[in-house]
Amino acid sequence: MMQELASVLDEIGGDRSVRVVVLRGKGAMFSSGIDHALIATVLGPNEKTPFMHNLYQLQDTFHRLSRLHQPVIAALHGGAVGMACELALAADIRIATEDTIMGLPEVAFGIVPDVGGTTRLVRCVGEPRARELILTGRLVKARTAERYGMVHDVVADLAALDLRVQARAELLASHSPTALGLAKVLVQASGDSDAATSFRLEGAIQQGLLAQPDLAARFAAGVAFIKAQMQSAE
C-alpha cells in the first residue's frame, strides 16, 4: 500500500490541476498503523531484503507527502497510531474528530518510531513533550493532541470533519498555488537551517514571488480576504 501511495503522490505532484490533497482512512479509523506481523517478518532478521532498504522506502514515501507542492490535509478519525500517526505528522494540516486517539507506542514493542515520527513529533510539539510521549508510548485523545500541538482542529464527528476539511481545502485552494508551494519550502527549510540562513531564504523566495506578472491583480482579492478574516477570526 505504501508503494501505491508513493506512486499516487508522484502523479499528484506533477498535476497542476490538483490544488489541495486530503489524506483520509477508509473504515472505522484513519489507520491503526503498521501490520504488526511485519515487525516479525518483513522487518525481521530472516527477511532477505535488508532492513534499512525497507525503512528508506517507507521514509521516502512519507517525505514525498511532506514535500508535495500542494498543501496536504490529514483528516483523522477513530485512531492514528504508530506509523499512521507518523503519516499524519507528514501532512501540513491535521483535523481530527473528538474520538480520534493518537500516539507513538513503538516502545511497547521494544522498538522506536522510525518513519519520521521522532523527528516530526519533536518539531511539532517540542522536544520535552515529544520525549515524554515517545518514552512512555502514551496514546492521547484528540483534544489533548490539539493542546499539545499534534493536531490543528478537533471536530465533533465525521459530518463535522467533512465540513471542516472542505472549508480548509477551499480556503487553501483560493490562494496562489505558487505562493503556497514556496511557503511550504520556506517553512520546511527554516526548521533545517540556522536563523540567518532562513532569513536570507525568505528574501530570496519573496524576490521571486514579487516578480510574478499577475501579482498586482491579486491585491484586491488579498484585501478582501483580510477584511473577511477580520470579521470571522476565532
Does 234 qualify as catalytic in the annotation? no
CA dist., res. 187 & res. 190, Å (int)? 5
Catalytic residue among 4, 11, 86, 170: 86
Cβ-in-10-Å burial (0-12, 13-18, 19+) of 108 comes to: exposed
**Side by side, which strands form the sheet with 101-103?**
79-81, 101-103, 140-141
CA dist., res. 70 & res. 180, Å (int)? 7
Does 106 qualify as catalytic in the annotation? yes
CA quadruple 169, 172, 173, 178: dihedral sign: negative
Catalytic residue among 106, 127, 132, 170: 106
CA dist., res. 107 & res. 54, Å (int)? 20
Active site residues: 86, 106
